[in-house]
Structure 1
Amino acid sequence: MNYGSSDRILAELRAWIADAPPGAQLPSTRALTAQHAVSPVTVQKALRALASQGLVESRPGVGTFVRSLRTVRPHDYGWQTAALRAPAHPLPSPAAALRTTGNDVIALHSGYPDRELLPERLVHSALVRAARSDAAVSRPPSAGLPELQSWFAGELGAAMPAELSAPTARDVVILPGSQIGLGSLFRSVVGAGRTLLVESPTYWGATLAAAQVGVDLVPIPSGPHGPDPDELDRAFAETGARAFYAQPTFANPTGAHWSPEHAGAVLEIVRSHGAFLIEDDWAHDFAIDADPVPLAALDDSGHVIYLRSLTKSVSPAIRVAALIARGPVKDRILADLQAQIMYVGGTLQAAALDVVSQPGWRTHLRGLRQQLAARRDLLVDAVTQHLPSAHLEAVPRGGLNLWLRLPDDTDLPRLAAACEARGVLIATGDDWFPAEPTGRYVRLNYAGPNPGAFTGAVQIIGDCLTG
């Protein structure tokens, strides 16, 4: 009975509201109950339905009123244009690699490994222990937890020859991820309006950090074996640059891995010009066919500033990285970081330290190497069979990606849109060039979800490329 009565009251009240002016008060619940010979519950149900439809509004202790309709008008934010003025250093748009996706697409665009490649059990346990520890309620030192500093220093020191002095915990600064470290390095070591040499192509996040700081980039051509030493030497001489940013181990996006001889030649050039080499060792934990030896392990004179992150290999939810620098430059960098972040949360630091200190961490890395190898080879085979017009200069010996050159007449935006329409996301290569691209490239991530779909995804890319 109540349902039918409620619908009848609702219809009559809608008709009444249609003829009433905004702000008119509806009859009271008591009056409606008496008028329609129903219970107060039935009347209240009808009023709640009207309120959910935006027709009335209730004012407690006063009554129910016909809701005033607001006039839709465009917002005028034009005044902000005059207040903000043009940006001093326009920032590039975020790379497509940052896009999040649903489960109905094949994601070859991302720069992160799938969660099944993470030490998930270790991470969950570490976070629980960290939350129960003093780290959850204590302010850590500005440079980081001493135990975590020692771990990073020990990792680098273990790769150094006996005749060189290993870094100590005092040389380490803990960061909330490597991206903020890049910005701080470029600001404090290079400086706004000054020149930074970078590989080309290079990590798009470094290009973004440089633009944010106002650093001028000079690209150095770099291939599957690293940058051209002669071009690097000439660029230092011509620009007087203070620093060179590079990824000697499984570079993003190319997968390049410098040989010991090449690394030694580059380091000698940097030393001869009295400059710094900023080494981004982001893929240290993603080795497949080669054991990574950081270039910083060849230097104890302070020319190499070393950056290593755990964000991708431990968990994207634990944004912890470290910067190792020797001499006065470390103090300058730390001062810049303190002005921005003061310190990194102790809970995250404690959790990161817990994960990498467990015996299961080394076991996980050994298994990860095998899983990455299988995924890489699966994607390489798919490209070879179904994308014959693509050129893979070198099969990466580590990292997460394949770097493919496509025909020079490829319309990359059209290709990406066509692939996405068929459920495949790819990262076009233009984002990784600090200047004009030297060709048409795509970066495909073999560490993403659903490797069983790699072959079908590459077939779709091939169809879209030739279609």
Structure 2
Amino acid sequence: MNDSSSSRIEAGLRNWIATAAPGARLPSTRELVARHQASPVTVQHALRMLTARGLIESRPGVGTFVRAVRTVRTADYGWQTAALRSFPARVDSLSTALRSASNDVIALHAGYPDRELLPERLVRSALARAARTDAALARPPAAGLPELQTWFANELGAVTPAGITPPTPSDAIVLPGSQSGLSSVFRALVGVGQPLLMESPTYWGAILAARQAGALVVPVPGGPAGPDPGQLERAFRETAARVFYAQPNYANPTGAQWPTALHEQVLQVVREHGAFLVEDDWAHDFGITSAPTPVAAHDDAGHVVYLRSLTKSVSPAIRVAAVIARGPARERLLADRGAESMYVSGLLQAAALDVVTQPAWHSHLRGLRQQLGTRRDLLVAALREHAPQAELGVVPAGGLNLWVRLPDGTDVHQLAYDCEKAGLIIAPGTEWFPAEPTGSFVRLNYAGPSPAAFPAGARLLGRALANGPGR
């Protein structure tokens, strides 16, 4: 088939269709072959393209006709208002962190690492190998591939100190991403109308998952070194909550990492109240100047429900994570996962396991640490030089983001709008507060594309702050 001939025939027919009446019959294939001196295959390809564009329709045994233009009636979905009734929880629009951005803007808003920070060769090879195995066709166990369960358990067990019983592979449940896991945890362990303590500010996706689960979110202030154990104890006592959600390592959005001494203090509070700590270790692979130390490594009584994701560090296309839980909590979570998705794609599980068990995976992580450090330092220096109005409370020891405080009274949404008009996309910090924001903040991602544009982005931010209302 000659593509240029097919395109020529298609263009000629489109011109003819533009002047033909709806329902007009097209010349037969034999006539078109003779007219354009092309093969029947080439003519048929042109006709298929016109059909796909909705310009013509074929009636078997009759012929091909110009498609009649149908008047589209405006749909009325008002009946759904009564059918759905009031939603039990407020649902915000799509987070800024999930927005796509064109190549002609400076994007500091994203929640994922840029493609050049991913182990692309490992991922492509792993997917190809997995496609040639039974994983491409077989249904995996509900809790996950045993080998992948073992890997997740061993990762946590490797940092478990002596005297603490490490997790077993059967404690791990493989998930289609940690976001799905958070939804299960909040449904299974908190429930509708029950209080859920959350470090504030915190991950917007966790806030959304909690609201969708119908939980009553109670914020617990978190600082550069984590929450105050006294305030956490007070929140447990006053609310009778049984679950506390937190990110002890490189928290999103603040980048905070709990000091080791705080681990035991928080665990003690949780134990005293017979409660759970939901530890979201989303940034485990993104340490820069420190190593992540999971709180779960110090617990063998089932108080810590531990989430570990590979989605951001391996590939956004391989949504694989795991939750490690013990006792009845684990059984309740497995039941929820069965109702939600039955099982996680065996193909994706096999590919993820292939990537993280290759010797090159550890080499990749060492290189990633250096690349993230370079990007972080570049953005920090650019902000200090070009946007001195933006206050950086802490330079994070890992993670993907900077949490920047703006002058009091700054309208962060107007600022984001002004920046975007100038060619810079930032994420307003309001999305990361479970309740009212405690100040004006923006989150800036240093793992996104085009780090060479960081100074230009900082200049645009500084200019927008200088020209903002009241400045």
TM-score normalised by length of structure 2: 0.88
* Residue matched to 1:430: 430
For residue 313 of structure 1, give the secondary structure of its aligned residue in structure 2. Answer: helix
1:351 aligns with 2:351: yes
Aligned positions of 1:279-294 closer than 5 A: 279-294=279-294
Change in CA separation of 1:86 and 1:154 when aligned onto 2, cut-off 3 Å: same
1:297 aligns with 2:297: yes
1:411-451: per-residue Cα shift (whole Å, max 9, x none)?
21211111111221111100000000011100000011111
Shift of 1:77: 2.1
Unaligned 5+ runs, structure 1:
none
Which of 269-278 and 97-106 deviates more? 97-106
**Change beyond 3 A, Cα 1:419–1:39:** closer
Aligned pair partner of 1:41 in 35, 59, 64: 35
Determine which structure has more spread, i.e. the larger CA radius of gyration: 1
- Structure 2 matches for 1:233-382, cutoff 5 A? 233-382=233-382
The separation in 1 between residues aligned to 2:322 and 2:285, in whole angstroms, is: 14
The 1:180/1:60 distance shift into structure 2, 3 A limit, reads closer
One-letter identity of the residue aligned with 2:134: D
- What SS does the corresponding residue of 1:379 show, helix, strand or coil? helix
Q: Give per-residue Cα distances to partners, 1:137-194, cap 9 Å, x unaligned.
A: 2111111111111111111111111111111101111001001110110011111110
1:185 matched to 2:185: yes
- CA 1:158/1:82 → structure 2, altered by over 3 Å: closer, same or farther? same
Which amino acid in the other structure matches residue 301 of structure 2? S
Secondary structure of the corresponding residue to residue 388 of structure 1: coil
Alpha-carbon displacement from aligned partner over 1:101-129 (angstroms, at most 9, x marks no partner): 12111110001001111111111111111
Aligned to 1:99: 99
What's the secondary structure of 1:297's corresponding residue? helix
In the TM superposition, what is the alpha-carbon distance from 1:203 to its structure 2 partner? 0.3
- Pairing 1:393-432 to 2, within 5 Å after superposition: 393-432=393-432
Return the letter of the residue paired with 1:433. Answer: F
SS of structure 1 residue aligned to 2:88:
coil
1:178–1:68 distance in 2 versus 1, CA, 3 Å: closer
C-alpha distance in structure 1 between counterparts of 2:55 and 2:152, whole Å = 63
* Structure 1 counterpart SS, 2:219: strand
AA of the residue aligned to 1:41: R
1:61–1:398 CA distance, 2 compared to 1 (3 A)? same
Cα deviation digits, residues 37-79 of structure 1 (max 9, x gap):
x99738x99xx9xx99999977565578787554454222222
The 3 A distance-change label for structure 1 pair 303 and 72 is closer
List aligned pairs for 1:59-78, cutoff 5 A. 62=62, 69-78=69-78
Correspondence for 2:202: 202
Q: Which residue of 2 aligns with 1:173?
A: 173
State whether residues 26 and 66 of structure 2, in contact with CA within 8 Å, keep that contact through their aligned partners in structure 1.
no
Give 1:26 shift.
7.4
Q: Which residue of 2 aligns with 1:144?
A: 144
The answer as to whether partners of 2:400 and 2:445 remain within 8 angstroms in 1 is yes
RMSD: 2.9
Q: Report sequence identity in percent.
A: 63
1:441-460, aligned counterparts within 5 Å?
441-460=441-460
CA 1:54 to 1:249, structure 2 compared with 1: closer, same or farther past 3 Å? closer
The alignment's TM-score, normalised by the length of structure 1, stands at: 0.89
Structure 2: 5+ residue runs without aligned partners?
Answer: 1-7
SS at match of 1:245: strand
Match of 1:387 in 2: 387
Of 55-64 and 422-431, deviating more is 55-64
Helix, strand or coil at the partner of 1:312: helix
Residue 462 of structure 1: aligned partner: 462
Stretches of 4+ moved more than 6 A in 1? 25-29, 51-58, 63-67
Summarize the Cα distance change of 1:172–1:415 in structure 2 as closer, same or farther, 3 Å threshold. Answer: same
Distance 1:233 1:75, change over 3 A: same
